[in-house]
Each structure stands twice: as structure tokens, then as C-alpha cells.
Amino acid sequence: MTLPRTPSLRLDGRRALVTGAGRGLGLACAAALAEAGAEVWLAARSADEVEAAAQALRERGDRAHALVLDVTDADAVARAVALHGPFQVLVNNAGTNRPKPFEDVTEADVDLLLALNTKAAFFVARAVAAGLKQAGLPGSIVQMSSQMGHVGAASRSIYCMTKHALEGMSKALALELGPHGVRVNTVCPTFIETPLTRDWLATPAFREQVLGKIPLGRVGRVEDVMGAVLFLASDAAALVTGSALMVDGGWTAS
């Protein structure tokens, strides 16, 4: 009897690009891909932060490079990807949030979140996909979405708007890029302990409200997201595209 073998989670010989990789989820995703054997480019605007992150990975024995890049500059993105790619793995992680009541949202708030969470993700994905098609290589694009891309929440109108848009974009890209062997999926975390969320989660009332919506009874850690991203990047997810992988402790199950 010949038994089937589990597809590998290894990424040896592949190049990976992670945006927003100087800290938090981005750094965690870069660490996961590098540990699996990928050569990783960590992209962020802050030179000191991203250089330190790449150096820490190199000291661990990984292949990692710092890439100082403003992902909202589509021309700069195209040049960087053409220079360092093609990238067989992209983790489109750069993003931000400005939670506030709907009536207090300013035009500047809307412009910022649309530019970073949605528009930049589109152009980074397009540059990576173009490089893969030109090289005739398959690839995996992992978009960092959110549980808020599937539900609504008070004081998060524009964040929900941008993440719902990212979900729709990813499904459309999966259809368009599938014939070229490029898979596109989203990872949808709940609240994860990161520098971006630490102050909010330190507020007892807010933390209690969040935990009340998570059946597993805890907020997330970056390690919870690392495995999901690695799965989608690897051959273990070879037939997975156009999907949203919920890492939300059950938030969206109700």
C-alpha cells in the first residue's frame, strides 16, 4: 500500500516579501517564513526598525533583508519588486486603524486608511503578480485582513470598510491570477496583542468587551497568526485560493 504524504510547509528556495514588517504581526510573519526556509525581504518605512528586525533574523541564521519602502508610493513599490523579486510569497500586512465614532471620522482619516489598507495592498499585489507572471512562476499572495472584514463594529466604520474591500479584492484577484498559478487568500485575525493594539487592550472595559465576543476566551498572540500565514504560503495550501482563513477565536461564528 502506498500512503499519501502530507505536503510540505517548507519554503526553501523561495523569495518572500512582507510589508509592514518592522514589528508586530509583520515581523512575526517574516520570522515564520524565514524559519520555513524562505529568503525574506522585510519592508517598512522606518529604516531603524526594519534594519533591526532583519538583523535579528540573520543572527538566528535566517536569510533576511531590510527594505525601506513606503508602500503607498506605487511607483516605488514597482521599482523595489522589480529589483528584488520575483517574490513567490507576499504577505500584504501593512495597515493601520483610527477607531472613532462614525460622526467624528474626518476626511483625512478616510484617506489614510484607504491609502494604506486598500490602495497600497492593491498595488503591492499587482507588482508581485506581474513579476511572477513575467517569470512564469507560481506564487501565494496572503492579504492581512481582519475579522472586521466580515462583520461590523462600533467606532470602526472606516476600518471595516477597508477590510471588507480587501476581502472583495482578494476574491477577484484569486479568479484573475488562478490561471497563472498564483493563489490569493486572506488571514482574518481577531484582536492580537501588538504595539498597535496594546493600549486599547490595556483598558479593562475594552478588554472585557473584546473577550466577551471570543468563545475561546482570550485575545490573540502573533504566534496564532504565524501558522495561518505559513500554511497559506506553502504547498500545504496548494488548492486554496479565494478563501478567508479566520483566526478569530470564534468571533465571527455567532
Phi and psi for 18 in degrees, rounded to 5? Answer: -125, 125
Supply the pLDDT for residue 194: 87
Mean pLDDT of 223-246: 98
pTM for the model stands at 0.96
Q: Name beta bridge partners: 184.
A: 141
| Active site annotation includes 159 | yes
The single residue of 87, 123, 159, 251 carrying the catalytic annotation is 159
Question: Residue 115 and residue 95: Cα distance in Å, rounded?
Answer: 9
Q: Which domains does the chain have, with CATH numbers?
A: 15-192+223-247 (3.40.50.720)
pLDDT band of 250, cuts 50, 70, 90: very high
Which pLDDT score, from 0 to 100, does residue 167 have? 98
70 and 76 Cβ atoms separated by less than 8 Å: yes
Q: 243 with 13: CB under 8 angstroms?
A: no
Number of residues written out for the chain:
254
- pLDDT score, position 200: 84
Strands (E), 5-62: 15-19, 39-44
Which residues lie across from 68 on neighbouring strands?
Answer: 44
Q: Phi and psi for 39 in degrees, rounded to 5? A: -90, 120
Mean pLDDT of the chain: 97
> Which pLDDT belongs to residue 198?
86
pLDDT for residue 223: 97
Segment holding 110, helix H or strand E: helix 107-113
Flag whether pLDDT at 119 surpasses 90.
Answer: yes
Q: CA-to-CA distance for 81 and 100, rounded, in angstroms?
A: 35
SS percent in the chain: helix, strand, coil, step 5 = 50, 15, 35
